[in-house]
Structure 1
Amino acid sequence: MTAASDSPKALAPGVVPPETIDLDGYHLRRATAEDTEALHEAVKASFAELHPWMPWCTEPVEIASQRDFIERSETGWTAQTAFNWLIIDAGGHLIGTIGLMDRIGPGGLEIGYWLRSDATGRGVMTRAAARVTDIALALPGVERVEIHCDAANVRSAAVPRRLGYRLDREAHAEPTSPGESGLSQYWVTP
Structure 2
Amino acid sequence: MEKKREVPEVPEEFFTERLKLRMPKPGDGKAVNAAIKASMDELKPWLPFVQEDPTPQDTEINTMESHILFLKRENLRYLIFDKETDQFIGSTGFHNIEWEIPKMEIGYWISTVHSGKGYMIEAVSALTDLALNHFACRRIEIRCDAENIKSRAVPEKLGYALEGTLHNDELSVDGNRLTDTCIYAKCQ
Relative to the length of structure 1, the TM-score reads 0.87
Unaligned regions of 5+ residues in structure 1, if any? Answer: 1-10
What are the within-5 Å matches in structure 2 for residues 1-190 of structure 1?
12-89=5-82, 90-103=84-97, 106-171=101-166, 172-178=168-174, 182-190=179-187
Structure (1/2) with the larger strand percentage: 2
What percent identity do the matched residue pairs reach? 29
Equivalent-residue separation in structure 2 for 1:26 and 1:79 (angstroms): 25
Unmatched runs of 5 consecutive residues or more in structure 2: none
TM-score by length of 2: 0.87
Offset from partner CA, 1:10-61 (integer Å, 9 cap, x none): x934424311111112211112111111111011011111111001112222
Residue 91 of structure 1, CA deviation: 1.3
Query: Equivalents in 2 of 1:180, 1:19: separation in Å?
Result: 38
Whose relative contact order is higher, 1 or 2, with alpha carbons under 8 Å and at least 6 apart?
A: 1
Query: Stretches of 4+ moved more than 4 A in 1?
Result: none
Task: Output one character per residue of 1:116-175: Cα deviation in whole Å (capped at 9) or x when no partner.
Answer: 001011111001000000001123452111100000001000000000000011113122
Cα RMSD over matched residues? Answer: 2.2
C-alpha displacement of 1:181 = 5.5
Matched length: 181
Partner-residue secondary structure (3-state), 1:102: strand
